[in-house]
Structure 1
Amino acid sequence: MILVRLFSYRARTAPLRWLAWLTLKLGFGWLSIETLAQVEGVVLMSVFAALGLFAAKIGTETVRRVHDCGQSGWWVPTVATGVVALVLTAAARWLGHDADAIVWGTLTLAGIATAALGLRPGERGINDHGAPPTPWTSSGPADGRAGLMVAALLLAAGIAAGGAVITWQNALVRERDARMRAAEPRAPDTSAIQTTANEVSMDQEREASGNDNTALSTQIDSLLNEGHAR
């Protein structure tokens, strides 16, 4: 099965092949960072899924490189955990406090680890993981399914991460829209203005009617007074 062979840990990889995959991974990672700021939706989730698969593949090739040196592949997750922790710490320090000893120390350790795997020659003879590989190929049975399971898990993790980022982006958009609506000046309530105008008009009409009645009553009183006087 092609997928099993693609992600199988049971093989050996030469230094040049491992360096080629590492360079490809770093290039794709840089391109992904540039792309993620400009895309959303399905495309964004696809980029995260691809990152998960690339991480699984470089992990597979790293285990094979360690096998080529005659070492146990279990060293890879052990060392990778420490490297990831250092890289995340360095990134946080870099973003918050600019470059310092932690950042440069992490980059130095990463460079040493890369040089060790990329320059160390493999065992010349056959070992437990197969025959010596050619510079650009891997050798060995390549029939284990553990790598395929890890690839599936990292693919699912990438999709989940993409979904989480999309949810976060949508929440930011909703919050921005709510703030914009709250900042907009409210239109005057025309119904209330119209009601007030009607009430004022009715009061004016009542006042005018009262004035007319008062004037009429005054005229009547005057006429009556004149009649009594005669």
Structure 2
Amino acid sequence: MKTITRRVATIATAGALGLGGLAIAAPALAGNGPFGFGSSSTASAGPNGMGPGYGMGYGGGACHRLSVTAEQGTLSEAQKPALALMAQKEKLSHDLYQAFAARYDAVVFDHIGVAETQHLSVVRTLLQRYGVTDPTADRPAGTFTDKATQATYDKLLAQGKQSLTAALAAAQQVERDDIAALRAASSGLTAPDVEQVYTTLIAASQRHLTAFTHWSTR
């Protein structure tokens, strides 16, 4: 059983994210949302939403926040499903890492799980801005509307339950898949704010991958 005390992630129920010089209300992650957080904080900040440390102390309780300053553009009908998929992927990451955090005494899962809540909040803001239905709204932890995402989550969760080493390997796979998906979705974008978010999330996933890789060699 896990013995360390974990910091509960807090996300604004009406937090302001800077988008194109405007204050855009971030969709709620509290109450009946997929993570059920009841308290709040303001989302804004660093370029990658991650602190230094590669998971050893993993930012020392840093806020894992990010902001969007690029202006709004346009998304094609073909690009909107990709944005919705990014929300599913961020939720998958969060839910999986929190499940592993509850099972293993490895703080890297706690801290990166907190970062994923911020990433989902920003993606949700873009979904709202571009009129795309949020597929993660009101979904309990570990449940997904997309069948492929659900199958991936179930497979990785079962893998990670075998051992801490297996959980870290599953987390590394999540981050590699996220980087590939984000790079593919970035092709041909004409929306500066979405492009900025994707670029930031790629950088964050690369740091997450480094952190999980570091922990796997401890």
TM-score (norm 2): 0.28
TM-score (norm 1): 0.27
Look at both structures and tell me which one has the larger radius of gyration over its CA atoms: 1
The structure with the largest helix share of the pair is 1
Bigger relative contact order, structure 1 or 2, given CA contacts below 8 A and separation 6+? Answer: 1
